[in-house]
Structure 1
Amino acid sequence: MRKSEWSDKQLEELIRQMPKIQDHRDPRDIYQNLSIKKRKLIPWILPGIATAAAMLLFLILVPNLMDRTNNSFNEAQEKKSLEQTTAKKDAGIAMDKEEATSKEGVNSGTKEVKLLRTESVKSAIYDDEVGNGKVLTYWIPDQQAQILIPVSTIVSDAGNKSWLTVFEEKMASLKEEEWGLSDFYPLNAKLELDKNNNSVIVDVPSNHLYGQGSTNETSFINVLQKDIASNSNLRKIKFKTNGEPGIELGNYGSMQEQNIESDQKKHAFLFYYPVGSKLPYLTPTNTIYKDFGTALEAMKADQPENGLKSSLSPSLQIYDVTISDKTLSLSLKDDSTLKDNQLTLYSFEALMLTAKEFGVEKIIVKNSPLTHIGPFDLSKENKVPIAPNLRNIQ
């Protein structure tokens, strides 16, 4: 067929001069027809002038379309041939990649295990995490004011300030309610260090509420005792009210000073779960135990009267412990089903904190079926924590 001598520009001009055919259907009807019908329906009645124009257009366009169709066919053949060649190359590359991935999988086991370990998060603070900072521990009543929960933080901007100054400054930054505990801080008192008498002066205003109710005053006295004992070696509290010596408390009466109990150790650490939380605090018992073995047995049982849960995971099956040169050596049972998960990690930390109560500084685990619990390498000695329950307040 003879190639059309009409140029593209001439064809466009001819089409513009043809009469317009309007479609009065709703656009949604058109879309529905296109979506449902597979074949295009050709109307059999058209205005005479439209039919003539269409026939004329057909005669003009056919030669040009045929020529373009031949060119498109040739291009399609060339494209198909190129795609087949490329596909073969890609298949070869894919096979090489699969083989390489298979080899890499064998060598990447350590990396995968390391990634899995990062999913378990330590609760306590350890020596290598402090740097040039300072660790402070606040004792906060639980929601029922039955026990005190130690919450620790790392302060990096202490400068030349005393621990007590920084401790008092950071009180307002505590988020007790957000942490599932009682809103207790900041204390309604001024704290002053008395180095000459190895004591802390606690000066309350005359309208303080710490003497209203046995729970309030007991929590107040216990919090002061534990706050000072955990953060210093001071052994005495001196009370003032508006600068005058003494404080009035309902059950305690008038108090001028109080000694800080020197024996704040030998407790067992159990789990305390705030309402709605799946992660526990590591919390010392109120009970004092005569030796580590007795405390270890206490870790296996709940203390419902204080809202505490057992902290010794069933998978951490210990059958022998010895303490020598401030190092605890413990052996696991041969059939121990030790698991590397968050609960076991917290259980191991509770074990280390309990051991620390009895003067232990390092722990060695023997015949463990696992090399790691979270970030702890059980094939090496592990240092006990500095303080429990890390929370960032800065």
Structure 2
Amino acid sequence: MKKSEWSDKQLEELLRQMPKIQDDRNPRDIYENLPIRKKKPKQWLVPGLATVAALLIFFILIPKLMVGPQYSEDHAGQEKSSVERDIQKADENSTIALKKEDASPKAWTFSGADKTQTSKTAIYDEEVGDGKVLTFWIPDPQIQILVPVSTIINDSNEKKWLELFNENMVNLKEQEWGLSEFYPLSASLKLDEKNNAILVDVPSNHQYGQGSATETNFINVLKKDISSNSDIKKIRFSTNGEPGIELGNYGHQDEVRIKQQKNHAYFFYYSEGNDIPFLVPSIEKYEDIKTAVEEMKKDQPTLGLKSSLLPALPINEVSIKEKTLIVSIEDNTSLQDDQSTINAYESLLLTAKEFGLEKVFITNPPIKNLGPFDLSKKNKVPLAPNQRTLQ
């Protein structure tokens, strides 16, 4: 191509001489009509970004996935250790509580739906306070035995025992206890201090001479009521104020001597409708306490009495030392801390009292505490059996 002969200066001069051209269009219209090409994103970019995101998530999660099982095991182990610590702590607290309870003189009680309350059935020194203990002897429904029932009377007027006896025999609940309706006695009882006797006056139409069993029970009840509550040795009878009483088998009686009845063994008597037995002395007297204990291991079916020792309290040997009954339990024996064993132990305490002893000590107790009794110590004999509350 031939090179132009025009110089730059000449070209500039030529352009200046050309007519002026003016464009009246709006600048916005001009901009909108420009042929601008929109670029589409490349097709590989979106899948690529998704892949990168997936890889990032994978690399973030893979460490946790790798330690997850180990973390779960560690966490479970920590929870298990925590539970074990709580159980151990509870056991320690329970042990502390038991130790405190062992040291406490409070009476033993059970709580909870699966446990029943246990308690003494006899009356002991520490329970009486300023009250007075009265014992009433009540025939069983078959009129074969006499059952002692004792109560504590709180009297602020310092009445004598016989006055309290007369006042309270109307409150006895023989039928509720499964025994014979025998009280109040159809007789008046008065104290003759001058002659150290009890005056018993019966009406002319009294029923106590109607049959040998009735009159025998009447005499025996009077003897036991008086001997259990006093040291009086004599009963003097009268009928409607006149000296003496007519009894079928005894004939005419003016007075009866009272002898202290001792050396009996205590057995169980289950009255109808009651799960806890009465502790009842045998009719027979025994030469020594060893013989009595051996008899307590047997039933007395003719009298409706059950063994008070077996199976709850299997005794091996007994001996006496300084007013204390020393007892050993048969080897490989596990005592149950329940009401039956408490009843058995109390029958032993009451039998020891019958032989003039004051305490009982078990040399090899399988358990330390039996209800309210601490078997590691000597326990005092009761004052009276079969405590009941009168209205």
Post-superposition, which runs of at least 4 consecutive aligned residues in structure 1 deviate over 3 A? 95-102, 109-118
Q: Distance in 2 between matches of 1:168 and 1:333?
A: 46
Q: 2-side partners of 1:190 and 1:277: how far apart?
A: 32
Within 5 Å, give how 1:176-187 maps onto structure 2. 176-187=174-185
Does 1:344 pair with 2:341? yes
SS at match of 2:178: coil
Q: 1:115 to 1:221 in 2, by over 3 A?
A: closer
Q: CA deviation at 1:159?
A: 2.4
Residue correspondence of structure 1 range 1-394 to structure 2 within 5 A: 99-100=85-86, 102-109=88-95, 111=97, 115-116=109-110, 119-157=117-155, 159-262=157-260, 264-394=261-391
Q: Secondary structure at the match of 2:194?
A: helix
- CA 1:105 to 1:392, structure 2 compared with 1: closer, same or farther past 3 Å? same
In 2 relative to 1, CA 194–120 (structure 1 residues): closer, same or farther, beyond 3 Å?
A: same
The CA deviation string for residues 247-292 of structure 1, in whole angstroms up to 9 with x for no partner, is 1111111110010123x01000000001232211000000000000
Alignment partner of 2:110: what SS?
Answer: helix
Match of 2:58 in 1: none
Q: Which residue of the partner structure matches residue 33 of structure 1? A: none
Distance apart, 1:194 and its partner CA? 0.6
Letter of the aligned partner of 2:269 in structure 1?
Answer: Y
Residues 102-127 of structure 1: CA distance to partner in whole angstroms, max 9, x if unpaired? Answer: 40332214646855398212110111
State which drifts further: 237-246 or 98-107: 98-107
CA RMSD of aligned residues (A): 2.2
Provide the secondary structure at the position in 2 that maps to 1:196: coil
Q: Taking structure 1 as the reference length, what is the TM-score of the superposition? A: 0.73
Shift of 1:161: 1.3
* Offset of residue 365 of structure 1: 1.0
Residue aligned with 2:147, SS: strand
Q: What amino acid sits opposite 1:379 in the alignment? A: S
1:81: which partner in 2? none
Q: State which structure, 1 or 2, has the greater radius of gyration over its C-alpha atoms.
A: 2
Contact map agreement 1:149 1:281 (CA 8 A) in 2: yes
Measure how far apart 1:320 and its partner are.
2.0
Gaps of 5+ in 1: 1-91
User: Which whole-Å CA distance do the structure 1 matches of 2:204 and 2:252 have between them?
Assistant: 13
In the TM superposition, what is the alpha-carbon distance from 1:366 to its structure 2 partner?
A: 1.0
Q: d(CA) in 1 for partners of 2:83 and 2:149? A: 51
1:126 and 1:277 map into 2 onto residues whose CA distance is: 23
**Which runs of 5 or more residues in structure 2 are unaligned?**
1-77, 102-107
Counterpart of 2:137 in structure 1: which amino acid? W
1:313–1:344 Cα contact (<8 Å) kept: no
Partner residue of 2:28?
none
State the identity as a percent: 56
Deviation track 1:20-67 (CA, whole Å, cap 9, x = no partner) reads xxxxxxxxxxxxxxxxxxxxxxxxxxxxxxxxxxxxxxxxxxxxxxxx
Q: 1:247 to 1:115 in 2, by over 3 A?
A: closer
CA contact (8 A) 1:237 1:258 kept: yes
